[in-house]
A = this chain, B = another copy of it.
Amino acid sequence: MSLARKRENSVVSHGQTRPGGRSARVQASVHKATTELLEEIGRDALTIPAIAERAGVTPSTIYRRWGDLQELLADVAVERFRPEEDPKDTGDARKDLELWVEAFAEEFSSAPGREMIRDVLAGRSGAEMPGAGKPGKCSAYTKVQIEEIAARAKARGVPFPDTTAIMDHVIAPLVYRILFYEPPSAELVRSLIATVYELSLETAT
């Protein structure tokens, strides 16, 4: 089991649901119905009754569990941040980081990607305690992937920047640009990574 997989399990919690129980099945089918309908009819036409019908549950099941559509969308969006596989291992940790961050920037720069970040932030739990709520889960998923690459670098005895520095000086500027002004280019990704390497090498000497 990889580091990413192990940490992921400790980070992810489905609240009250027992895996494999009825509650988990309801969650899975409601998430699936939401994702499908988002693609088919788009978010403006999306309603809880339509999702309920597709998922084979009653609307009141959805209202009881999620409260409203916004909260359900936030939940679905968080799941999309969950890593599906370990970052690619090319044998060169810096290259792995570049590839992983480029894919991250590309995914979240697209219109549906930006929508996902906005959904995560718009969810109720985002309002009070960012660290404990859905946004905190998303940044934890991102960190886990970076730490996986860091662990490989460490195993090979190669210097690698601190995860916090990568979050502050690579991930944060990308997410800020995606949300506030312009989709970042692959060149920008590489230049931010060069900056964070520079910063970490200085601290090391």
Contacts and interface: CB of A to CB of B under 8 A. Distances in A.
Interface of A: 111, 114-115, 118, 121-122, 126-128, 130-131, 135-136, 138-139, 167-169, 171-173, 175-182, 192, 195, 198-199, 202
Which 5 A-B pairs give the minimum distances between C-beta atoms? A172-B176, A168-B173, A139-B180, A172-B173, A172-B172
A95 B126 CA distance: 33
Contacts of A175: 172, 176, 180
A181 B163 CA distance: 14
Contacts of A171: 176
Interface of A is mostly: helix
A87 B182 CA distance: 26
Contact of A181 (B118, B122, B131): B131
A43 to B, nearest CB: 9
Contacts of A135: 179-181
Given A199-B195, A199-B199, A178 B130 contact: yes
Contacts of A111: 127-128
Contact of A115 (B127, B172, B181, B192): B127
Given A172-B173, A173-B169, A173-B172, A181 B136 contact: yes
A182 B131 contact: yes
14 contacts: A114-B130, A115-B127, A118-B121, A121-B121, A122-B122, A135-B181, A139-B176, A167-B176, A168-B169, A168-B173, A168-B192, A169-B173, A172-B175, A199-B199
